[in-house]
Amino acid sequence: MRTRREQDLLAEAIAQLRQQGLAEPLAKDLVDETVRRIADCGLRNPEPGTGHRPIRNPQTAIRNVTGWHFKLAAAAVLLLAGYTVGRVTSPDIQELRDALTPAVAASLEPALRERLSEEMKDHYQVALAGTYVHLKEELTQQYRDDLNRYAMQTLAASNATTNALLGELVQAIDTAQAQDLRRIALTLSQMEAKRMQDRTQLAAGLVSLASHMEDELSQTKKVLAPFLLDDRSREIELLPQPSKTSPNERTKE
Amino acid sequence: MRDHGPAVWQTAYRLLANHSDAADCFQETFLAAFEIAGREPVRNIAGLLVRLATTRAIDRLRQRSRLEQRQTDAIERQPPDDEPDPLERAHTNELASQLTEQISRLPPQEARVFCLRYLNDMSYRQIARELNIAVSMVGVSLYRAKARLRAALADTQTQHNEVSHANKT
């Protein structure tokens, strides 16, 4: 029972301990600092006697230890070493190192250069992507601002134009109404003058007609007066002598 | 470093549970690996880094344990500023803290074998190759380490329960 509980305790403790390592992520500053320290160490302390060449980028060096670059470089180094050992009669380590150093450097340089180029390319791509996103956001914001400003300016100009046109329209309407009123007044005054003139002419005509008719009547009266006098006297002659009858009897007749 | 850095960092931080100590261990590990890579060809860089990180973390753990041992028991240890809240740590990582403390008291080889096996999931063969010992020796060291740790954890737990019971009463 106790052993069982001890096993559970140990398993639980191991599980907690494994979980503990996941709580804190690796900081990039620490990686950079470590790379810098390794680079300093590699530049300051080249391995004497081993022919080890200090590598400026230890991260690349460690990564390439098992890579095909290293195998290729190792094959080249082996070939050159065999060739050099065959050529060199003296087994002096210093001479051997002097002979190997340029070859090793020449064989490692393309691989390191290619690796560095790839890393720089990745770095530039990341930086370029960030710059592109930033630039795109800035341009979008500027485009929106310009569009809003242009819309406001256009709206203001449109309002001013509309107001000016409306003013002109009101002024034109007022002018037309004034002209119409002046024409109406002129026409009314002309009509009144014409009416007064017609009335005067009518009155004069009536007076003239009346006087003319009066003249005609008097002339007619003068013409008819002799005839009337002649006929009267003839009738008087032709008429019987009045009898001694009463007026009532004459009426019956 | 981009490929193996997280594994090394987890290995160091698991055992040390302290940011500054883990950072020192991380840097020392890569410096040592760089020196070794300059001296001799390395077949398994991941195994080498994990082994170096484990060894250095255990060494640092033992140093810390000895330092705490020297201090007076009456003076309580003041946690560093970058450690988590004590109450939270007590609740969540109590067993983990006890286990790291007991690992620091194990013999060095047993501690390394235990950590590589149970914290880094390495096989017996990989551990034997990294530590340059026989596979059977790995099994023996692991058995002894587990037995010691089980007993130590059980004792610590018993003492803790007794103290809790006394405080309650």
pLDDT number for residue A149: 94
Q: Comparing A192 with A54, which gets the higher pLDDT?
A: A192
Task: Write the pLDDT tens digit of every residue in A29-43.
Answer: 788 888 877 777 765
Which residues, in sequence order, are CB contacts of B8 under 8 Å at separation 6+? Answer: B26, B29, B30, B49, B50, B53
Q: Comparing A213 with A48, which gets the higher pLDDT?
A: A213
pLDDT number for residue A14: 84
Burial class (CB in 10 A: 0-12, 13-18, 19+), A167: exposed
pLDDT number for residue A172: 96
A151: pLDDT confidence band, cut at 50, 70 and 90?
Answer: very high
Task: Write the pLDDT tens digit of every residue in A83-116.
Answer: 888 776 665 677 777 877 888 888 888 888 888 9
pLDDT number for residue A175: 96
B24's tokens: 């020192």
| Residue (of B104, B105, B135) closest to B117 by Cα position | B135
* B34, B41, B118 ranked by CB distance to A14: nearest: B118
Q: Comparing A32 with A166, which gets the higher pLDDT?
A: A166
How close A116 gets to chain B, by Cα (Å)? 15
Contact A31 B2 (CB under 8 A): yes
| Residue (of B8, B155, B166) closest to A26 by Cα position | B8
| Chain pair A-B, CB pairs under 8 angstroms | 120
Residues of chain A in contact with residue B146, where contact means CB-CB under 8 angstroms, are 10
Contact B38 A14 (CB under 8 A): no
pLDDT number for residue A97: 79
pLDDT at A192 over 90: yes
B2's tokens: 């981009």
**Reported ipTM:** 0.73
| Residue (of B3, B9, B42) closest to B27 by Cα position | B9
Q: Comparing A246 with B141, which gets the higher pLDDT?
A: B141
Q: Which of A17-21, B35-39, B62-66 has the lowest mean pLDDT?
A: A17-21
What Cα–Cα distance (Å) separates residue B143 from each residue in A10, B15, B21, B104? 13, 20, 29, 17
pLDDT number for residue A91: 57
Taking all residues of chain B, what is their mean pLDDT, rounded to a whole number? 80
Which residues, in sequence order, are CB contacts of A24 under 8 Å at separation 6+? Answer: B9, B13, B19, B22
Q: Closest-CA residue in chain A for B146?
A: A10
Contact B92 A16 (CB under 8 A): yes
What Cα–Cα distance (Å) separates residue A162 from each residue in A148, A154, A157, A173, A176? 21, 12, 9, 16, 21
Q: What is the mean pLDDT of residues A58-75?
A: 66
pLDDT number for residue A205: 95
Q: Three-state DSSP class for A144?
A: helix
Is residue B38 within 8 A of residue A47, CB to CB? The reply is yes
Share of chain A above pLDDT 70, in %: 77
| Whole-prediction pTM | 0.44
Cα separation, B130 vs B50, in Å, equals 9
* B30, B37, B118 ranked by CB distance to A65: nearest: B37
pLDDT number for residue A84: 82
- Residue A139 sits at the chain B interface (C-beta within 8 Å): no
A56: pLDDT confidence band, cut at 50, 70 and 90?
Answer: very low
Is residue B47 within 8 A of residue B151, CB to CB? The reply is no
pLDDT number for residue A249: 57
Is residue B57 within 8 A of residue B112, CB to CB? The reply is no
Q: Closest-CA residue in chain A for B13?
A: A21
Q: Which of A35-49, A87-101, A138-152, B79-93 has the lowest mean pLDDT?
A: B79-93
Q: Which residues of B33-54 are buried (b: 16+ CB within 10 A; e: fewer)?
A: bbeebbeeebeebbbbbbbbbb
Q: What is the mean pLDDT of residues A172-183?
A: 96
* B37, B96, B151 ranked by CB distance to A16: nearest: B96
pLDDT at A44 over 60: no
The most confident of the ranges A99-103, B6-10, B64-68, B110-114 is B110-114
Share of chain B above pLDDT 70, in %: 82
Q: Which of A30-44, B26-40, B74-88, B106-120 has the lowest mean pLDDT?
A: B74-88
Task: Write the pLDDT tens digit of every residue in B98-135.
Answer: 888 888 888 988 998 998 898 888 899 989 988 889 98
pLDDT number for residue A52: 45
pLDDT number for residue A49: 43
Task: Write the pLDDT tens digit of every residue in A2-26.
Answer: 566 666 778 888 888 877 766 677 7
Residue B22: alpha-carbon gap to chain centroid = 11
pLDDT number for residue A190: 96
Residue of B39, B99, B114 to mutate, testing the A interface (most A Cβ within 10 Å of its Cβ): B99
pLDDT number for residue B38: 78
- Residue A26 sits at the chain B interface (C-beta within 8 Å): yes
How close A102 gets to chain B, by Cα (Å)? 18
